Structure 1
Amino acid sequence: MTDSSLQAQLDAADLDWIVPDWPVPAHVHALSTTRNGVRGSAADFSKHSVDAASVHNTLRRFCYSEPVWLAQVHGTTVCDADGLRNDVPTADAAISRSADKACAILAADCLPVLFSDRSGNAVGAAHAGWRGLAAGVLEATVDAMRIDPSNMLVWLGPAIGPRSFQVGRDVFESFCGDDPGAAECFVSERDGKWRADLYGLARRRLARVGVSAIFGGGRCTYTERNVFYSYRRGGEEASARMATLIWIEPREMRQA
């Protein structure tokens, strides 16, 4: 189900940011920003953004937990956000069991992935570009959460779609070398190229570790140019990034 309260707040602010449609408990909140900010402004969360203070202030109107930002390197390191203060860890995933922190991911074509257990006691977020996905960042996040995978809910945020993500043999072999069945997530083209389905690859890898409740997917950051930034689309906006966050509502704020 969609978080109707958060959706109403975004609608009132005239923001087209995305609220995940998945059956998490009411005290778990999540959102994924788009390229669009308030009053027609740009919402660029990259370190190069000239309006960084403004977009972060806008975000904090809806996310009352402190976002934990990561120095993302396309790896598999998962950090525990609850033990952090003001530092920016080098990692590509974060987990939290506290209402004080929001797990945050930056992306613009790479796949942002959110995690929650069905009781809403633990949440997580992972940055899954093809390198991190092939290396096992999703499996590492599932393992770090210490939750039975059958009790886990996962949402796939906006990423480059399967019709737009052309890759070479190195990417194909990174996934299919030890999992020949992953070839179903690739469409062969001429000259040794393939079209890769990040969503399908993520679902496949999650299923292999026992996660079956997977939601989201279906958007394309490359083709939906009025909604999303895209690194592959290039141009002046190649360095711009969108944010995807998940957090636990403090107990004192929850409705009885």
Structure 2
Amino acid sequence: MVRKSLEFVTPDWTMPDHIQAYTTTRKGGVSPPPYDSLNLAEHVNDTHENVEKNRQLLASALTLPASPLWLQQTHSTKVINSQDWYEGIEADAIYCNQNDHVCAIMTADCLPLLISNQTGTEIAAIHAGWRGLADGIIETTIERFQDSTDKLHVWLAPAIGPEKFEVGQDVFEAFINHSDTAQVAFQQTDNSHYLADIYQLARLRLRQLGITQMSGGDACTVTETSRFFSYRRDGETGRIVSLIWIGNK
């Protein structure tokens, strides 16, 4: 999907028209290398002017109803309600049941999850790095929903793919200690290293909560160099953003 030279990835789900959800790519912005070009993060040493221009381009391309509710993400399990948001708040997920509150998650390999119930009255956006995922960020977020879990649909937005996410014994044990079933998401490469499938790890957690409606989880931010930023690949780099909001019916 392309709008005004920006490119977006959109969820492959069937939601009411008033639910708007997108993930940006790195294309269409003004930032120079290594942030080329649609870097939307203030904390990565890109200039404030470039980031603001990129955010303006994003707002224009998607006709955003309001400025995104940016979070200071810390790999925690903290979830906030969009009505409690303020500038600089630390959290790794945001729940919303209000119109025109644009929930936003920034990533460059970690897993963004966008969630909506079938009627489009409740949404959430989650930042799930391995630590937050292991500690229960998904479970803590789902607890906010009033609707039952069988009415929720989750889109797994672009993240690091299973062939590139090498982790150590500590990560393996963090998930196995929660559930033995997590072993299916790991491929051992030597005595102390594994390839981890962060998409599969998230799906396992979601299924344990009774969520069966899931889509996405087929991108790789590391290998799709021209489309996505990747901290693991490049170190100094920009951030893509996954957004979701409830529009007017």
Q: Same fold (TM over 0.5)?
A: yes
Give structure 1 stretches of 5+ with no counterpart. 1-6
C-alpha distance in structure 2 between counterparts of 1:39 and 1:53, whole Å? 10
Corresponding position of 2:104: 104
Q: Moved runs in structure 1, 4+ residues, more than 3 A?
A: 38-41
Q: 1:235 Cα shift?
A: 4.2
C-alpha distance in structure 1 between counterparts of 2:205 and 2:235, whole Å? 32
C-alpha distance in structure 2 between counterparts of 1:45 and 1:38, whole Å? 9
Q: 1:59 Cα shift?
A: 1.4
Matched, 1:37 2:28: yes
Corresponding position of 2:54: 55
Give structure 2 stretches of 5+ with no counterpart. none
Matched, 1:19 2:19: no
Corresponding position of 1:119: 119
Q: 1:24 Cα shift?
A: 1.2
SS at match of 1:67: coil
C-alpha distance in structure 1 between counterparts of 2:201 and 2:141, whole Å? 16
Contact persistence 1:68–1:88 (CA under 8 A): no
Matched, 1:65 2:63: no
Corresponding position of 1:3: none
Corresponding position of 1:80: 81
Percent identity reads 38
Contact persistence 1:134–1:175 (CA under 8 A): yes
Contact persistence 1:106–1:242 (CA under 8 A): yes
Deviations 1:183-203 (A, max 9, x none): 000001114100000000000
Corresponding position of 1:167: 167
Deviations 1:45-81 (A, max 9, x none): 1113321111110111212233111111111110001
**TM, length-normalised to structure 2:** 0.92
Contact persistence 1:77–1:91 (CA under 8 A): yes
C-alpha distance in structure 2 between counterparts of 1:113 and 1:31, whole Å? 11
Letter in 2 for 1:82: Q
Q: 1:39 Cα shift?
A: 8.0
C-alpha distance in structure 1 between counterparts of 2:225 and 2:29, whole Å? 18
Say how many residue pairs are matched. 239
Deviations 1:211-242 (A, max 9, x none): 110111110001111110001012442xx211
**TM, length-normalised to structure 1:** 0.89
